[in-house]
Amino acid sequence: MAEEAIKLGGKKKSMFIDKVKQIIPDGGNLNLCLTCGACSSGCPATGLEGMDPRKFLRMAALGMDEELLKSNWAWMCTMCQRCIYVCPMKIDIPQLVFNVRNSWPREGRPKGILGSCDMALKNDTCSAMGATEEDWRFVVEDVAEEVRETQEGFENLQAPMDKVGAEFFLNQNSREPVTEPDEMVPLWKILHLVGADWTYGSKGWAAENYCLFMADNENWKHIVEVKAKAVDDLKCKVWLNTE
């Protein structure tokens, strides 16, 4: 039996259609999409869930909101922006994907991202691993001490914490101090060898922001504000985010 064709026609209300129009350059119309497939050819998520960027864009343009929200593909997009880079019309498909994510019920979003976002909101470290200020300070001091005692040439290495007026405020992916603390050391060594004036903060030090990936705008903004305040409170000039 032949598959039933998608029937077009009539006026179908869409929560995404206006968003699609907004991402077309210079206020143009949806015909600016050439359906050339360049976006799909370089997309690492092409083919997953039977979807690709070109199909995703065209479905939104056709008002197929219900079908888009049934697909998990929006959560498989890496937001790498390769599609924008290769698109001759520079259509911002990742922005469309972000808007679709934002339309999902919060409790229906991927558990891993949701849990990491909620964990980061529990305290001012912003750690998606739930690391507290005390845990963070202990690990940094312990690892730095071990390096000074065991590694020749780094007897004076420091990993400063809450140093007021440092040139650089360094963020750290919070998985490393929790699961792979030695992975922090190579960057410390580089900063030590070049004589950089840097510091960690006891607050706002976690580099990741899963609320961004979850399209939770309010909490994404909150986490950034906590981090920015930590930088300002220490009067640092440059904020280095390793993510």
Tens digits of residue pLDDT in 65-124: 889 998 999 999 998 999 989 998 888 888 889 889 999 999 999 999 999 999 999 999
The answer to whether residue 27 scores a pLDDT higher than 50 is no
Kindly report the average pLDDT of the chain as a whole number: 89
Residue 168 and residue 160: Cα distance in Å, rounded? 11
Q: How high is the pLDDT of residue 6?
A: 42
Q: How high is the pLDDT of residue 1?
A: 45
The answer to whether residue 17 scores a pLDDT higher than 70 is no
pLDDT in tens, 68-84: 998 999 999 998 999 98
Residue 157 and residue 171: Cα distance in Å, rounded? 18
Q: How high is the pLDDT of residue 26?
A: 57
Mean of pLDDT values over 132-151: 97
Mean of pLDDT values over 142-148: 98
Number of DSSP helices (H) and strands (E) in the chain, helices first: 12, 3
> Per-residue DSSP letters for 113-151?
HHHHHHHHTSSTT--TT---HHHHHHHHHHHHHHHHHHS
What lies within 8 Å, CB to CB, of 106 at 6+ separation is 114, 216
Residue 48 and residue 158: Cα distance in Å, rounded? 46
The answer to whether residue 62 scores a pLDDT higher than 90 is no
The answer to whether residue 9 scores a pLDDT higher than 70 is no
Residue 194 and residue 155: Cα distance in Å, rounded? 15
Instruction: Determine what percent of the chain is predicted with pLDDT higher than 70.
Output: 88
Location of structure tokens 């750290």: 172
In terms of Cβ atoms closer than 10 Å to its own Cβ (0-12, 13-18, 19+), residue 83 is: buried
Pairing status of strand 238-240 against strand 198-199? unpaired
Q: How high is the pLDDT of residue 99?
A: 87
Q: How high is the pLDDT of residue 4?
A: 47
Indicate if the alpha-carbon torsion angle 140, 202, 241, 90 is positive or negative: positive
pLDDT in tens, 175-231: 999 999 999 999 999 999 999 999 999 999 999 999 999 999 999 999 999 999 999
Nearest alpha carbon to residue 33 among 75, 92, 78 = 92
Mean of pLDDT values over 152-160: 97
* pTM, full prediction: 0.82
The answer to whether residue 13 scores a pLDDT higher than 60 is no
8 Å CB contact between 58 and 32: no
8 Å CB contact between 187 and 146: no
8 Å CB contact between 15 and 103: yes
Residue 50 and residue 46: Cα distance in Å, rounded? 8
Say how many C-beta atoms besides its own lie within 10 A of residue 239's C-beta. 16
The answer to whether residue 60 scores a pLDDT higher than 90 is no
Q: How high is the pLDDT of residue 3?
A: 46
- Listing from the earlier edge strand, what are the strands of the sheet with 198-199? 198-199, 168-170, 238-240
Q: How high is the pLDDT of residue 47?
A: 95
